[in-house]
Amino acid sequence: MKVRIITGVISALFVIMLLAFTGLGYPGAASIPMGIVAAIAAYEIMRVSKCKNKVLTGVSMAVSAVIPAFVDFELEKFVPVPVSVILAVYIIALLIIMLRYYEKTKFEHVALALFGSIVIPSALGTLFEIRNLSTEYPDLFQRSHTVFLILFAMYGAWISDTCAYFAGRFLGKRKLAPKISPKKTVEGAIGGVAGNVIISAITFLVCDRFFFVLDTLKLWMIIVAAVIVSILGMIGDLSASVIKRNFGEKDFGNIFPGHGGVLDRIDSFLVTMPATYVLVQLALTIAGK
């Protein structure tokens, strides 16, 4: 447990620093390391699937590494064709690679390559969409709001997971999904949601007292959103576990002592960050903005 806690704290501090710089509007502060993380995650998912096609794995890693910077620096403005066309060409290229190396490539490998190279970095890239809220809606959001929302999305993944771990360890009795993740319990899940709500609420109150000028965000919004995001984060975690179980693996990797691989650490984050952005957009839509 000691190694797990130390690794978690160091990783969390590093990520908080990157997210804070991103929220404050420094392009490249997170997109470059995020590209590296996405590439490693793409590799891990191909490794778990037992894919022996190195070309397919390499292409998936390369594309996943580029997308965060592509979104962060808004490079689509300089591309002469729609992004949908690029995506179509990319899918066709993956299918051609499958046909070229059909002896050692299954269609599920292509599907996972597409997931690893498009879905993972795109989900991470919604971080930049949240950051840009202060420029798109300057009358509603400050930079401090975007920093808080980025941290809030992170809380939904990692604070929930940490609280669920300890609540399940000391109070857990009823299994949540025994065939998918045997160690997760109902009590742990409740503890994870409760812990995230408390930490998110405290963080909001501190930010509201010292950093927020505009009163766009309300405490009740944060509490409701924290519950939703926590639950969705758990769904993301369990979904990643299904992928591992399908291929008979316990972890996606071992880069983080006591925590597994990169994808083991960001699986919930792939849901909580887009979910946070969607909730903000839903609130804006309801408000007629």
Q: Are 256 and 264 in contact (CB under 8 A)?
A: yes
- Residue 121: name the closest of 32, 58, 247, 16 by CA: 32
The pLDDT averaged over each successive group of 10 residues in the chain (289 residues) is 55 63 65 89 95 96 94 87 94 96 93 96 92 93 92 92 92 91 93 97 96 95 98 95 91 76 90 97 88
Cβ neighbours, 10 Å, residue 242: 12
Q: Which domain holds residue 226?
A: 2-286
As a whole number of angstroms, the distance between CA 174 and CA 64 comes to: 38
As a whole number of angstroms, the distance between CA 182 and CA 282 comes to: 35
What total of structural domains would you count in the chain? 1
Tokens standing for residue 55: 């070309």
Would you state the pLDDT for residue 50? Answer: 94
- Residue 275: name the closest of 244, 234, 220 by CA: 234
Would you state the pLDDT for residue 23? Answer: 59
pTM: 0.90
Q: How far apart are the first and last CA of the chain?
A: 47
- Going through the chain in order, the beta strands assigned E by DSSP cover 175-177, 181-185
